Amino acid sequence: MNISKKIVLLGHFGVGKSSLIRRFVEDTFTDNYKVTIGVHILKKEVVISPKETVSLIIWDLEGNDDITNTRASYMLGTSGMIYVFDLTRPATYEQLESDLNFIKTNYPNIPIKVVGNKKDLVTKDFIKQNSDVFGSFTDFYTSAKANTKVNDLFSTLAKQLIS
Amino acid sequence: MLAKHKLAHEKAIIQYLIVDKKSIILESDDAFFSNVTKQSITSLHPFFESITTLLDLEENQEYLFSCIHLETDNRNIIADITLKTFSKEHALLIIQDLTTHYDNYQLTAQKRNESVIDSQILELKNKYLIEKEEFKNTFIANFSHEIREPLSGIITFVDILGKTNLDSEQKDYLNIINTSSNHLKHMIEDILDISKIEVGKLNLIEDSFNLSEFLEEFVFTYKIKAEEKGLTFLNTIGEKLPPQIIGDPYRLKQILGNLIDNAIKYTTKGSITLNVSLNQVRANKASIHFQIIDTGIGIEKENLDKVFTSFTQVDTTQRNKGTGLGLAIVKNLVSLMDGNISIDSEFNEGTSFALNLSFKLDTKTKDKKVEVATVEKLGKDKYHILLVENSEITQLSVLKILAAQGKFYLDIVTNPDTLIETIQNQKPDIILMDINLPNTTGDQLAIEIRQLPEKELKKIPILALTGKVFPEDLKRYKKAKINDVISKPFDEKSLLKTIHKYLK
Ligand SMILES: Nc1nc2c(ncn2[C@@H]2O[C@H](COP(=O)(O)OP(=O)(O)OP(=O)(O)O)[C@@H](O)[C@H]2O)c(=O)[nH]1
Ligand SMILES: [Mg+2]
């Protein structure tokens, strides 16, 4: 059985949304930052089990430092969400709790994974020290550059979407 | 003809598609995606795959998706896509190519985002640096403070040890300990000062003080230091300087002291000059100009702006040790006092520092010279006093008292071996004699003076300065023909009174 599911990646600009997707879909990474405007849509099949495959239709949204400005049409028909912040820039996670509340209120019952990206640039200690800032909300600490937890992130969400 | 050219230049900018509720394309004008009729719309691009759920909704709906990146048959476009449902059976899709428009937006967004991210990273770096700096400063402040305690223990007991019976070898060693611990003490004080300055905890006091007294005492101290190194100490003190000013005399002393210490340190031959003059008096404030000139090693032009930075020593030969903080402290103190300082230097020729500092005038405090019992008319304009004393504290207090009078030259002998020669050269009017001296006593020296061949010298009044005033001591002084005794600790009045008794 092959079903397709739309997921969107949200978060401030420059946090690594496109990089995570590029790593997941093409297994490549670049240090060059090319700002995403509007939305790029990519597709990747995720094999859940020998019998089950999910086609993830991944919407790579333009970054926005104000979540309430996200274009509503982009969210239509979404089955899952990934909210990405940048571990190296506090500005990208200072509003984390209220951003997540906004999402939960406006898109109830849609599974969401919260991701702290660029883990390669911070220490374990740093993550520990900030556990009260983002620790309790975060599902994955990823690095698109070092390929840490990227597949995990997408396949965990994919599994959740079909269960 | 026009139609032909137009056709060649015209790019399709819009494509219309009719789809049914099962996502099958019924009609298309093939502008970007060609030969697509009867196919499922989902095969064109993943975008359409994700909107199929919208196709079986109610009629007369309209959705706009803006700025969608699409890979079409022969190029990538950025488009706005409109979905309109008319009946439950059919929907219209309009793909409008807005690439040019969005490319411009892409450029703007790129610039904006990059600069925001850069500034966030910079802010973060600054925050990190500030935290590090704060940590450094508190660490240094606490640490230096903790070190001072045991160090002052060492200094005190070296002092006490020096007063016990030691042979000359032991004394030499003790001297070295003494010099080293004093050096260490000064460095710690410098470090403490700079860390206080950096956290803004260094406060200036406001005291009224007598400027000419201050300068006389200052010149005196540094003249000795310079001469010890074989350098000439020159000074001109302007006549128009205000007598009594309000400011922080301790920090002023530190500023000038650091500059002159520095000058002495980097000069091996020639002179050190201190010039002080009045710039102007305005609104009850006097602006005073200080200049310190040496004939030392100088500083290369390219290093001039580094000299005021903490922990920088332009001379890296290690020949001249120190913390490298002296000038940074000076610079900071000067700006705390709202003054300014500049440096000029010629490599291998010498360096000069110029500073301007403002002080409030104190018009209330009277010149506080002690009026010694309606003094008889004195025979000379200035009297020459010779002090035989090796304690710096006593030297300074005598100097302070005499300088304020403006009637005395003071010379100091610390080494008793040179005393007789000095007396013969300088023919002082009065000798102030400490009793407890290295290798000898004041009364012993007095006996030697009284045996001098020169008539006018052997009669010079000798006044003992001593804490030993038991009857048997006094008897001994009398026997040595010491004229009078000033007991330590003495005050201004008793010193001046006794001296005046012997002035002719
Ligand atoms: N070191 C490191 N750099 C990363 C990582 N992920 C992304 N980056 C870098 O971060 C910058 C931004 O990455 P993007 O993936 O373009 O970020 P985005 O969230 O898509 O940004 P917008 O499209 O503007 O919203 C790029 O320079 C990437 O190379 C990571 O895991 N580690
Ligand atoms: Mg992006």
**Domain spans of chain A, in order of start:** 2-162
Q: Do residues B254 and B248 lie in contact, with contact meaning Cβ atoms separated by under 8 Å?
A: no
Atom of ligand 1 at shortest range from CA of A29:
29
What are the pLDDT digits (tens) for B284-297?
899 999 999 999 99
Could you give the CA distance from residue B266 to residue B90 in angstroms, rounded to a whole number? 94
Sign for the pseudo-dihedral over CA of B220, B224, B225, B226? positive
Does the Cβ of A92 fall within 6 Å of ligand 1?
Answer: no
Contact B69 A34 (CB under 8 A): no
Could you give the CA distance from residue A67 to residue B163 in angstroms, rounded to a whole number? 79
What are the pLDDT digits (tens) for B263-276?
999 999 999 999 99
Residue A45 has φ and ψ, to the nearest 5°, of -85, 135
> What is the distance in A from the centroid of ligand 2 to the CA of A30?
12
Enumerate the residues of chain A whose CB falls inside 8 A of the CB of residue B121: 88-89
Could you give the CA distance from residue A92 to residue A15 in angstroms, rounded to a whole number? 8
So what's the pLDDT on residue B312?
58
**A2-162 maps to CATH 3.90.1150.10:** no
Sign for the pseudo-dihedral over CA of A117, A118, A124, A127? negative
Mutate to test the pocket of ligand 1, among A9, A18, A19, A20 (most ligand atoms within 8 A of CB): A19
| Cα distance from N-terminal residue to C-terminal residue, chain A | 13
So what's the pLDDT on residue B48?
94
User: Which ligand has its closest atom nearest to the C-alpha of B106?
Assistant: 1
Mutate to test the pocket of ligand 1, among A15, A22, A66, A84 (most ligand atoms within 8 A of CB): A15
Enumerate the residues of chain B whose CB falls inside 8 A of the CB of residue A13: 109, 113, 116-117
So what's the pLDDT on residue B258?
92
Give the closest of B50, B54, B113 to A41, CB-based: B50
- Distance from A70 to chain B by nearest Cα, in Å? 12
So what's the pLDDT on residue B61?
87
Q: Among the listed ranges A133-142, B122-131, B262-271, B413-422, which one has the minimum average pLDDT value?
A: B122-131
So what's the pLDDT on residue B57?
63
Name the residue with tokens 């520092």.
B353
CA angle at B21 for the pair B19 and B26, rounded to the nearest 5°: 25
- Which residues between 17 and 46 in chain B have a beta carbon less than 8 angstroms from any beta carbon of chain A? 45-46
Query: B127-198, which class in CATH?
Result: mainly alpha
Give the mean pLDDT of B186-210: 82
What are the pLDDT digits (tens) for B357-388?
999 998 877 655 544 443 445 677 788 999 99
So what's the pLDDT on residue B274?
96
* Closest among B250, B284, B421, B292 to B362, alpha carbons compared: B284
What are the pLDDT digits (tens) for B309-347?
766 555 555 445 556 688 888 999 999 999 999 999 998
Coil, strand or helix at A86? strand
- DSSP 8-class letter at B268: S
Give the closest of A41, A74, A77 to B46, CB-based: A41
Stated pTM of the model: 0.57
What are the pLDDT digits (tens) for A32-78?
999 999 999 999 999 988 888 999 999 999 999 999 999 999 999 99
So what's the pLDDT on residue B319?
47
Q: Does A70 touch chain B (CB under 8 A)?
A: no
Enumerate the residues of chain B whose CB falls inside 8 A of the CB of residue A37: 67, 78, 102, 105-106, 109
Atom of ligand 1 at shortest range from CA of A30:
29
Contact A38 B102 (CB under 8 A): yes
B98 vs B149, which has greater pLDDT?
Answer: B98
Total length of chain B: 504
So what's the pLDDT on residue B311?
61
**B207-361 maps to CATH 1.10.1740.10:** no
Q: Do residues B502 and B463 lie in contact, with contact meaning Cβ atoms separated by under 8 Å?
A: yes
What are the pLDDT digits (tens) for B421-454?
999 998 999 999 998 888 889 999 999 999 999 9
Query: Residue B504 corresponds to which tokens in the numbers above?
Result: 């002719």
Enumerate the residues of chain A whose CB falls inside 8 A of the CB of residue B117: 13-14, 33, 89
Give the mean pLDDT of A125-148: 94
Give the mean pLDDT of B395-420: 86
- Number of other residues whose CB lies within 10 A of the CB of residue A30: 11
Residue A2 has φ and ψ, to the nearest 5°, of -120, 115
Does the Cβ of A17 fall within 6 Å of ligand 1?
Answer: yes
What are the pLDDT digits (tens) for A68-124?
999 999 999 999 999 999 999 999 999 999 999 999 999 999 999 999 999 999 999
Fold of B11-97: Beta-Lactamase (3.30.450)
So what's the pLDDT on residue B195?
78
Name the residue with tokens 């019992």.
B373
Does the Cβ of A79 fall within 6 Å of ligand 1?
Answer: no
> What is the distance in A from the centroid of ligand 1 to the CA of A20?
8
- DSSP 8-class letter at A62: P
Enumerate the residues of chain A whose CB falls inside 8 A of the CB of residue B105: 37
Query: B375-501, which class in CATH?
Result: alpha beta
User: Which ligand has its closest atom nearest to the C-alpha of B111?
Assistant: 1
Question: CA B417 → CA B209, B229, B423, B444, B448, distances in Å?
Answer: 37, 20, 12, 12, 11
Domain residue limits, chain B: 11-97, 127-198, 207-361, 375-501
Give the mean pLDDT of B207-227: 87
Beta carbons within 8 Å of B346's beta carbon, 6+ residues apart: B298
**Which residue of chain B has the CA closest to A15?**
B117
Q: Does B117 touch chain A (CB under 8 A)?
A: yes
